[in-house]
């Protein structure tokens, strides 16, 4: 059987990856020079895998919906709306110092005036500030379907080569998805190859049995080894080890980064405790911010509190420093120019042909936006709304693209569900012959081919629908194999039965008793049909032998009947000529001469033989009509006329297959027995009269009746002789 793809460990810890950004949550607080938060898009595992989802390498977006206001607007959420909803008054601008969240470290009070803060765009009333992570995952699932399709045409060697190439790449979410896709396709092809080998094995078994060589049964089947399988398993094992090592390394780095970032926060807060501000103080602050950006990602569990603490420390420093407006305006102008450039780049993405790539690049722009810092207050909403509008249009194209793809995948799911339903209905059918199993097998193979053409389905349904279809196919072919086992044993018995029928047919093929032999051969054909299955090759040999005997007899019979039909047509012409003679005949004065002529005509008629069956009755009626007409004209003795009429009628019975002659003889026999019984009774009655009563009128009547009975019995016996003669002639002509 095909080897199943090894499953990933259920308790495997999430693996950190790099390079793919996730959208941030709605209403996230703006940051002062906040670090880049590049988040990796989290894909789902491959179908059939229960491996835990991959964690991201970087600071993930806090799950909170509302946080302390900051100096600038953050990277907006994928579906975030402009700061002020239509018809709503603009929110008031915060101008007081920023209150530290509960998680931030406490700091001493500073006499410096609070720094004026930019307005933070808000979420429109009635809108939920929820992250787009689910939508990104759904898009990733849809994209993966296309990847699986692109891998299907590759051979085992090509899949191994692709796996080796992937091993040289850094561990990322995309790499994990690619490797799992390769593994899914590789083991799917293993299973498909072994199933095809099983079908070929079963076919060879049937052919061997039909040839009389016997078969090995199910125990003789061993799937072929796939040369690339050990190397693939080795590569996949190496990948898992590298993935786990990468995860441990990333976790360690994140813990170190957490310590470093906490130290930076402490040092920023320490700047606010100095008694006086020196020229180097701002330089130290800039250096700390630079260090913050350079430090990598931290554990996900600390992202929220760490981000709040850092933002609070930066705000505290600006409050403490009370930087002059000219320097601040210069910084705002620089930030505005940078954000304007990001808006330009975002607007270019709107017309990018590939909406998926545009969406991915947008995530990078959002991360850069968050790093830039605040702009002048009067431009804050304007620049934010411009960036927000471009984001919304890119998101719309991205969403519409995957909605269309999702609709297509749902349609594919419906089609595959229909195939499963059809296969279930086919499985429920009763099949009593191998021919029915073979016909249904062709339909199942066609359904498998149609399945492969349909295309991907939504990932959450992929494993379920695939397992359902494969299980149904396996049930069908297992059922067919079990049925074949039973009929093969029966087939050996049926070989002997058909061999006996061949011998019987060959014994009859030379017979010239066309009627009886035809019935016997038809009965042999009916028996042949009832025998049932025989192995294909041997069955064909026996059928050829049986058919040869049949053809030999029926060809001979058809030739004989063809010759007889020609003769019958000639006989018809002769009898029609006799009828014309009868019609033209005019009796003379000598009645006896006319009677003798009629007897000669009747003898000629009887000697002619059969005529075509369709014309037999019509020509016989015409003949009988003319004979009766002439006898009536001659007033011939009725007994003699009766005998002539009977002969004509019996001659018309010849050639009939319904036993007419046999029934006629039986009828005459019965009548003779009845008349003889009547005669014996009459003779018994005569014994009561004395010899001297010869003048008794009663006695005279009885004697006259006895003479009539003797004549009638003699006539019947004469008729029986004529029936026997006609029956012999009939058999000879057949």
- Note the pLDDT tens digit of each residue in 572-585: 888 889 889 888 88
Higher per-residue confidence, 656 vs 553: 553
Average pLDDT over residues 188-216: 77
Lowest mean pLDDT among 197-211, 291-305, 477-491: 197-211
Q: What's the pTM value of the predicted model, to 2 decimals?
A: 0.39
- Would you say 391 and 362 are in contact if contact means Cβ atoms under 8 Å apart? yes
* C-alpha dist (Å) from residue 623 to 472, 574, 613, 637, 651: 76, 12, 16, 20, 12
Structure tokens at 188: 């799917």
- Would you say 623 and 648 are in contact if contact means Cβ atoms under 8 Å apart? yes
Q: What is the DSSP letter of 33?
A: S
- Residue 337, pLDDT score: 94
Lowest mean pLDDT among 2-16, 237-251, 538-552, 592-606: 2-16
Q: Is the pLDDT of residue 24 over 50?
A: no
Start-end of H helices in 12-104: none
Q: Is 155 helix (H, G, I), strand (E, B) or coil?
A: coil
- Would you say 568 and 611 are in contact if contact means Cβ atoms under 8 Å apart? yes
* Mean pLDDT score of the chain: 74
Residues 6+ apart with CB under 8 A from 119: 83, 90, 91, 93, 94, 377, 380, 381
- Would you say 395 and 359 are in contact if contact means Cβ atoms under 8 Å apart? yes
Structure tokens at 98: 């920023």
* % of the chain with per-residue pLDDT over 90: 21
Q: How sure is the predictor about 665, in pLDDT bands with cuts at 50, 70 and 90? A: confident
What span, in angstroms and rounded, lies between the C-alpha atoms of 73 and 29? 7
Q: Is the dihedral of CA 697, 698, 700, 704 positive or negative?
A: positive
Average pLDDT over residues 270-274: 80
- Residue 415, pLDDT score: 94
Q: What is the DSSP letter of 79?
A: T
Condensed to tens digits (0 to 9), the pLDDT of residues 343-389 reads 999 999 999 999 999 999 999 999 888 778 788 888 889 999 999 99
Q: Is the pLDDT of residue 651 over 50?
A: yes
- Residue 161, pLDDT score: 92
What span, in angstroms and rounded, lies between the C-alpha atoms of 734 and 731? 5
- Residue 326, pLDDT score: 65
- Residue 387, pLDDT score: 94
Domain ranges for the chain, please list them.
429-556, 670-734
Higher per-residue confidence, 60 vs 314: 314
Q: How sure is the predictor about 676, in pLDDT bands with cuts at 50, 70 and 90? A: confident
Q: Is 14 helix (H, G, I), strand (E, B) or coil?
A: coil
Higher per-residue confidence, 324 vs 222: 222
732 by Cβ neighbours in 10 Å (0-12 / 13-18 / 19+) ranks as: exposed
Residue 431 — left, alpha, or beta (φ > 0 → left; ψ -120 to 50 → alpha)? beta
Condensed to tens digits (0 to 9), the pLDDT of residues 78-91 reads 333 333 333 333 33
Lowest mean pLDDT among 125-134, 211-220, 641-650, 703-712: 125-134
Q: Is the pLDDT of residue 71 over 70?
A: no
Q: Is the pLDDT of residue 469 over 90?
A: yes
């Amino acid at each position: 059987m095909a080897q199943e793809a090894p499953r990933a460990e259920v308790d495997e810890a999430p693996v950190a990856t790099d390079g793919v950004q996730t959208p941030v949550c709605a209403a996230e607080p703006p940051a002062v020079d906040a670090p880049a938060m590049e988040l990796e898009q989290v894909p789902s595992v491959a179908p059939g895998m229960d491996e835990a989802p991959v964690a991201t390498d970087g600071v993930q977006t806090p799950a909170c919906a509302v946080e302390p206001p900051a100096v600038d607007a953050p990277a907006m959420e994928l579906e975030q709306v402009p700061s002020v909803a239509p018809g709503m008054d603009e929110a008031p601008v915060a101008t007081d110092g920023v209150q530290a969240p509960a998680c931030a470290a406490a700091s001493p009070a500073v006499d410096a005036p609070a720094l004026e803060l930019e307005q933070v765009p808000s979420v429109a009333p009635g809108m939920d500030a929820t992250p787009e992570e689910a939508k990104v995952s759904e898009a990733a699932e849809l994209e993966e379907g296309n990847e699986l399709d692109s891998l299907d045409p590759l051979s085992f060697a090509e899949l191994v080569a692709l796996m080796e190439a992937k091993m040289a790449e850094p561990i990322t979410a995309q790499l994990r998805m690619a490797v799992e896709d390769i593994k899914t396709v590789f083991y799917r092809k293993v299973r498909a190859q072994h199933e095809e080998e099983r079908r070929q094995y079963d076919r060879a078994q049937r052919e061997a049995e039909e040839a009389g060589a016997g078969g090995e049964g199910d125990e003789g089947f061993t799937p072929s080894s796939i040369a690339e399988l050990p190397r693939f398993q080795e590569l996949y094992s190496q990948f898992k080890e590298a993935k786990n090592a990468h995860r441990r390394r990333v976790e360690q780095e994140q813990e170190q980064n957490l310590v470093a970032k906490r130290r930076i926060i402490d040092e920023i807060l320490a700047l606010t405790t100095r008694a006086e501000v020196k020229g180097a103080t701002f330089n130290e602050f800039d250096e700390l911010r630079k260090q913050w950006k350079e430090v990598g990602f931290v554990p996900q569990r600390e992202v929220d509190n760490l981000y709040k603490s850092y933002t609070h420390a930066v705000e505290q420093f600006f409050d403490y420093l009370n930087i002059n407006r000219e320097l601040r305006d210069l910084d705002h102008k620089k930030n505005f120019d940078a954000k304007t450039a990001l808006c330009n780049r975002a607007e270019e993405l709107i017309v990018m042909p590939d909406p998926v790539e545009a969406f991915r690049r947008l995530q990078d722009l959002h991360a850069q936006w968050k790093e830039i810092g605040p702009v002048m207050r009067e431009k804050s909403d304007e620049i934010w709304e411009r960036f927000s509008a471009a984001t919304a249009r890119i998101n719309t194209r991205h969403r519409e693209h995957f909605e269309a793809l999702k609709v297509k995948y749902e349609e594919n799911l419906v089609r595959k569900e229909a195939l499963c339903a059809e296969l279930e209905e086919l499985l429920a059918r009763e099949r009593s012959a191998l021919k029915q199993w073979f016909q249904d097998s062709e339909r199942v193979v066609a359904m498998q081919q149609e399945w492969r053409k349909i295309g991907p389905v939504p990932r959450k349904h992929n494993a379920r629908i695939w397992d359902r279809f494969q299980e149904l196919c396996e049930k069908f072919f297992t059922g067919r194999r079990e049925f074949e086992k039973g009929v093969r044993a029966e087939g050996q018995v049926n070989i002997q039965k058909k061999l006996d029928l061949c011998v019987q047919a060959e014994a009859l093929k030379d017979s010239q008793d066309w009627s009886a032999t035809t019935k016997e051969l038809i009965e042999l054909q009916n028996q042949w049909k009832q025998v049932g299955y025989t192995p294909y090759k041997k069955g064909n040999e026996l059928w050829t032998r049986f058919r040869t005997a049949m053809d030999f007899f029926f060809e001979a019979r058809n030739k004989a009947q063809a010759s007889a039909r020609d003769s019958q047509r000639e006989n018809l012409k002769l009898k029609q000529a006799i009828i014309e003679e009868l019609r033209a005949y005019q009796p003379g004065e000598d009645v006896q001469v006319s009677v003798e002529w009629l007897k000669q005509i009747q003898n000629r008629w009887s000697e002619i033989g059969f005529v075509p069956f369709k014309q037999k009755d019509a020509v016989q009626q015409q003949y009988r009509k003319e004979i009766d007409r002439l006898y009536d004209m001659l007033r011939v003795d009725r007994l003699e006329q009766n005998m002539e009429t009977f002969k004509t009628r019996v001659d018309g019975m010849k050639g009939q297959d319904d036993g007419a002659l046999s029934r006629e003889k039986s009828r005459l026999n019965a009548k003779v027995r009845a008349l003889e019984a009547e005669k014996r009774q009459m003779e018994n009655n005569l014994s009561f009269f004395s010899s001297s009563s010869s003048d008794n009128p009663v006695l005279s009547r009885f004697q006259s009746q006895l003479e009539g009975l003797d004549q009638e019995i003699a006539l019947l016996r004469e008729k029986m002789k004529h029936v026997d003669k006609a029956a012999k002639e009939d058999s000879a002509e057949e």
